[in-house]
Structure 1
Amino acid sequence: VHFYCKSVLNEIQNSFVYSCIASCHVPNLFLSVFLVGYPFALVYRWFFFHQSATVVHLFHTFSGLALATFNFGSRVCHSFLCIVIQFLLLRLMGRTVTCVLSSFIFQMIYLLMGYYYTATEEYDIKWTMPHCVLALKLIGLALDYYDGGKEQVSLSADQKKSALNSTPSLLEVFGFSYFYGGFLVGPQFTLQNYQHLVSREMSDVPGQPPNSVVPAMKRFGLGLITLSVFAIGGPHYSDSYYLTDEFEAHPFWYKCVYMLVWVKINLYKYISCWLITEGVCILSGLGYNGKNEKGEHQWDACANVRLWLFETTPLFTGTINSFNINTNAWVARQVFKRLRFLGNKLLSQMFTLLFLAVWHGLHSGYLICFSLEFIIVNVERQAETLVRDSPLLTSIAQSHLYPFVYVVQQLIHWLFMGYPLVPFCLFTYDKWLKVYSSIYFSGHIFFFIAFLVLPYLRKVFVPRKRGSEKKED
């Protein structure tokens, strides 16, 4: 794989694709996705699709190990060690709470220690990048194995789809962990989905390679478009510009506009990776998601972004629901819903976002980002409830004035979507504090005022219920 990528790289150095890749400062990562992921998927379809499960597991294991070695060299030992230890925990502890807790503690501590020893003040592509994806996979594996020992009636619909009824083999766990379509940047998928792939069930033609070339190329094409947008706009709207004296000297309105455009362009960095790797998953068959209500075959099982929703939604929750979908679904299923015993949704949401912040890394910027997300989402929900319960505001939202309202809402939406992502991208408190000071902590002030004002607006715009109506309710 190493020599293959190097030879192809020499041939396309002057191409547009390479200029996009080079501008992202992560050539090995993008080369792995572009030049290796798709060929591996084609090799699987042509030569290994009808082979035994053992052969398929070996192919996925060694192809994934080749990708990991090409990108991270000898540091591939970290993922290898964690996979072996996770397998031993399953075998030695069985379907127990002890196994789940031990898996969670070990995998998270190993990941956090990796963050600690490799931390810098810049966004670097290190072995910890795919390892954070792997950590969720292995923790989820322990939870799904634990669920497999419960009575079916006690499982939720999501748990029934992912619960493991049998103990996986070591080779199966390796193939699942190193699968080339999800090892580097995701998406998250369950071992049960991987088992369906190996048993040739993930296809619109059961037992045969799926007719997924066209759907895969569509996602690949979208990935190229978003990568191009980032490659062209990224150098003009970089994270580092926030820390310059030039940015500091600009007026407040300019800084707000810069932040609005910056967040739109820089999120394409993640979206392009997810779209391109989704194409790999679709090509292999892992992206197959059965038929929809119209009887049409769906290929969105590994979709990590809903691009149309991402571009058009005026809501913060809409953007969150359209972005990093599989990771969000994993956290919702394995963390948020399992905190039901707390008896408080807000508390469960708070701990879930705290987990996400720690999972991303040890920098203070992650904590600030997800704490702001918690505040913004809950203020937005209060505002939505106010509009829904107010006849006047509902009529305005449904009138010919809505296009104007939509434009204003989008401007507010993307301005304050960029606001919490500033610390996420700048990491350390001295950097994000400097930027927030230069824009007068406008996001904090805006949502703090909104939080205080919304209850009073509710009294003004929502008519009070009469006594008889209250009794009926």
Structure 2
Amino acid sequence: MAAPLLANLSESLGSPEPAVRLMLSILIGYPCALVYRKYLFYQTATVINLFHAISGLALAAFNFGPQIYHSAVCVLVQFLMMRLMGRTITTVLSSFTFQMVYLLAGYYYTATEEYDIKWTMPHCVLTLKLVGLSFDYYDGGKEPSQLSAEQKKAALPSVPSLLEVCGFSYFYGGFLVGPQFTLRSYQKLVAGELTDSPGKPPNSVTPAMKRFALGFLCLTIYTIFSPYYPDSYFLTDEYEAQPFWYRCVFVLIWAKVILYKYVSCWVIAEGVCILSGIGYNGVVDGEHRWDACANMKVWVFETAPLFGGTISSFNINTNAWVARHVFKRLKFLGNKTLSHVTTLLFLTVWHGLHSGYILCFSMEFFIITVERQLANSPLYPLIYLVQQFFHWLFMGYPLVPFCLFTFDKWLKVYSSIYFCGHVFFLVAYLAMPHLRKALVPKKERSEIKQD
């Protein structure tokens, strides 16, 4: 009965059935959160963990059927590693190696040339959760003086139970598309501590509905406009026959539309986290904050004049996870640039095995490098409007290989627009030192360099 209904709904919306299942599963998080608030908030940790584990597993089965065994295997192996290996660096390295190899094997054996919603999609989210869990467990065995403020908040003082790890892993608010949160935060949720009314469910219905409404608006925009800006159009003779300016503007508009797919999912999922309470972030300046699980700063994303601002407002929790567990732990390298490159390499591999991911993140690194020179220059206020224009024009440029995946496809598109993004930022990178030397007094250049 459910299959024909889903097929009809998919056809009426013009969306693939897996996409419809995914969005329905994210929305089902809201009634799950309401059940937890009304009937389970005062129950024991065992009951709450069971509810979260079973409801999350049900959503996984609804989307991926028997393939849920992949996540179950990884959760069980992670638990056994912590139990049997203890708080050792061996546990961290074993966890990282096993979880990443399992994910990459999944990418390899399920790879196609299109973006498919399959079991590897939530599994990449789970991989970060489980690897982060091993780091937090390891940190729990260190002296507090050896830990940063972030690590102290996440460090685990005791070994979690299997049921606790399952509840954390399959929690309906973050299993499918994120966001990332620590087991310590999840434990506080189960203990009823993440609330603005001590001893009572949080007053989070209104902030949750605000995020839902914003996410639904983004989803509506994507649903209406995405049929007019499909990825496949890039590979048509019609696109190649268009004027150069049209091809560039199409990339810009396409990118804005395609990104709403991610924005809508993350913002709606954030609403689920807020409604359950795990989105509670304490009191700041006398106001209760609900942004602990915010994965998007939509206003910043829409208005930031710099690529750095756009990147920092997008997929926030994943970026924070990578900063905490990869970038900052590479401090021993003694070189920020090397740490940054290694971090981007990890993100590239984590996303998948296609060449498009490598090009996307390498281009991102190059753009940010150039932009920092511009932003730190006294010339910057003079070229603000120009920078704003090129920010919007080239925002979609690195997304082309990210979404088209394979070498033959993204090369065809980049060739049709004459690699204009590469040329522009290469010229800017090479010209900046000469512009500084010609236009900025030597004394000011020395002060900038010192800063």
Match of 1:457 in 2: 435
Note the 1:159-308 alignment, pairs <5 A. Answer: 159-293=151-285, 295-308=286-299
CA distance in 2, matches of 1:190, 1:133: 13
Match of 1:60 in 2: 52
Match of 1:92 in 2: 84
How far is the alpha carbon of 1:469 from its aligned partner? Answer: 8.5
How far is the alpha carbon of 1:191 from its aligned partner? Answer: 0.2
What amino acid is aligned across from residue 91 of structure 1 in structure 2? R
CA offset digits 1:52-94 (Å, max 9, x no partner): 0000000000000000000000000000000000000001111
Tell me, yes or no, if structure 1 residue 31 matches structure 2 residue 24. Answer: yes
SS in 2 for 1:206: coil
Identity percentage of aligned residues: 66
Note the 1:345-384 alignment, pairs <5 A. Answer: 345-384=336-375
CA distance in 1, matches of 2:251, 2:165: 43
CA distance in 1, matches of 2:58, 2:4: 16
Deviates more, 1:423-432 or 1:410-419: 410-419
What amino acid is aligned across from residue 23 of structure 2 in structure 1? F
How far is the alpha carbon of 1:9 from its aligned partner? Answer: 5.7
What amino acid is aligned across from residue 132 of structure 2 in structure 1? G
Deviates more, 1:411-420 or 1:268-277: 411-420
Match of 1:138 in 2: 130
How far is the alpha carbon of 1:334 from its aligned partner? Answer: 0.3
SS in 2 for 1:192: helix
Tell me, yes or no, if structure 1 residue 310 matches structure 2 residue 310. Answer: no
Match of 1:41 in 2: 33
Match of 1:102 in 2: 94
Could you say if the C-alpha distance between residues 20 and 281 of structure 1 is closer, same or farther in structure 2, counting changes exceeding 3 Å?
farther
CA distance in 1, matches of 2:446, 2:224: 62
How far is the alpha carbon of 1:459 from its aligned partner? Answer: 1.1
Aligned partner (choices 375, 383, 388) of residue 410 of structure 1: 388
Aligned partner (choices 427, 431, 452) of residue 405 of structure 2: 427
Could you say if the C-alpha distance between residues 94 and 448 of structure 1 is closer, same or farther in structure 2, counting changes exceeding 3 Å?
same
What amino acid is aligned across from residue 297 of structure 1 in structure 2? H
Aligned partner (choices 89, 101, 105) of residue 113 of structure 1: 105
8 Å CA contact retained: 1:187, 1:278: yes
Could you say if the C-alpha distance between residues 24 and 257 of structure 1 is closer, same or farther in structure 2, counting changes exceeding 3 Å?
farther
Could you say if the C-alpha distance between residues 466 and 176 of structure 1 is closer, same or farther in structure 2, counting changes exceeding 3 Å?
closer
8 Å CA contact retained: 1:21, 1:30: no
Runs of 4+ in 1 over 6 A off after TM superposition: 5-8, 466-470
CA offset digits 1:86-117 (Å, max 9, x no partner): 00000111111100000000000000000000
Deviates more, 1:458-467 or 1:253-262: 458-467
CA distance in 2, matches of 1:127, 1:228: 25
Tell me, yes or no, if structure 1 residue 332 matches structure 2 residue 323. Answer: yes
CA distance in 2, matches of 1:105, 1:286: 29
Aligned partner (choices 419, 426, 445) of residue 441 of structure 1: 419
SS in 2 for 1:194: helix
SS in 1 for 2:442: coil
8 Å CA contact retained: 2:436, 2:445: no
Equivalences, count? 450
CA offset digits 1:277-336 (Å, max 9, x no partner): 00100000010001111x111110000000010010010000001000000000000000
CA distance in 2, matches of 1:415, 1:318: 15
Gaps of 5+ in 2: none
How far is the alpha carbon of 1:13 from its aligned partner? Answer: 4.3
8 Å CA contact retained: 1:20, 1:228: no
CA distance in 2, matches of 1:176, 1:259: 39
SS in 2 for 1:362: coil
Could you say if the C-alpha distance between residues 465 and 110 of structure 1 is closer, same or farther in structure 2, counting changes exceeding 3 Å?
same
8 Å CA contact retained: 2:75, 2:169: yes
CA offset digits 1:120-157 (Å, max 9, x no partner): 00000000000000000000000001111111111111
CA offset digits 1:217-238 (Å, max 9, x no partner): 0000001100011111111111
State the Cα RMSD in Å: 2.2
Gaps of 5+ in 1: 398-404
How far is the alpha carbon of 1:7 from its aligned partner? Answer: 9.8
8 Å CA contact retained: 2:177, 2:266: yes
Match of 1:401 in 2: none
CA distance in 1, matches of 2:259, 2:248: 17
TM-score of the two chains, using structure 1 as the length reference:
0.91
SS in 1 for 2:396: helix
How far is the alpha carbon of 1:449 from its aligned partner? Answer: 0.8
SS in 2 for 1:419: coil
CA distance in 1, matches of 2:146, 2:17: 47
CA distance in 1, matches of 2:35, 2:262: 26
Could you say if the C-alpha distance between residues 433 and 24 of structure 1 is closer, same or farther in structure 2, counting changes exceeding 3 Å?
farther
What amino acid is aligned across from residue 161 of structure 1 in structure 2? K
TM-score of the two chains, using structure 2 as the length reference:
0.96
Could you say if the C-alpha distance between residues 62 and 467 of structure 1 is closer, same or farther in structure 2, counting changes exceeding 3 Å?
closer
